Amino acid sequence: MKWRETRKANGKEHYVVCNADEGEPGTFKDRMLLSDFPDLVLDGMTIAGYAIGARHGLLYRRGEYTYLWESLQGKLEDRRRRGLLGDGICAQTGFDFDIRIQLGAGAYICGEESALLESLEGERGTARGGSFKRTRGQV
């Protein structure tokens, strides 16, 4: 349902964002997934991109995991060479999708959706107000 509604959303561009910042102290699931199963994460992002009609994917990765940078960039390059990222994925005309890695700054708040989006847009990672806030009694 979420993918269907995202595909129908207004705007020309849709994005797939994978939050692998992992700000919870003592948790390492994102590190393990990116270390041991990066292709599964990238496959999932690509499938989501296809489902919602996105051309761009952003992997928001914890900045402290510097040792993962080269291996993840290598995975992205390999996928581009094999036609699994870029234009015409798997020889499907119109299925254009690529992934960029964005390093987080270690801010715990960026686990919250709107703060993550602020950070991806080059702003300080703080939660957005406005339409995300509801007062008592509103539906």
The mean pLDDT of 31-59, rounded to a whole number, is 93
The Cα 109–Cα 23 span in angstroms is 8
Tokens encoding 119: 């950070």
Lowest mean pLDDT among 9-13, 42-46, 51-55, 60-64: 60-64
* pLDDT computed for residue 124 by the predictor: 66
Residue whose structure tokens are 């995300």: 132
Q: Where are the domains of the chain?
A: 2-122
Please state which architecture CATH assigns to domain 2-122: 3-Layer(aba) Sandwich (3.40)
- Tens-digit pLDDT profile for residues 75-100: 999 999 999 999 999 999 999 999 99
The mean pLDDT of 36-47, rounded to a whole number, is 95
* pLDDT computed for residue 59 by the predictor: 92
- Tens-digit pLDDT profile for residues 91-130: 999 999 999 998 876 666 666 677 777 777 766 667 777 5
Nearest Cα residue to 42 out of 27, 12, 20: 20
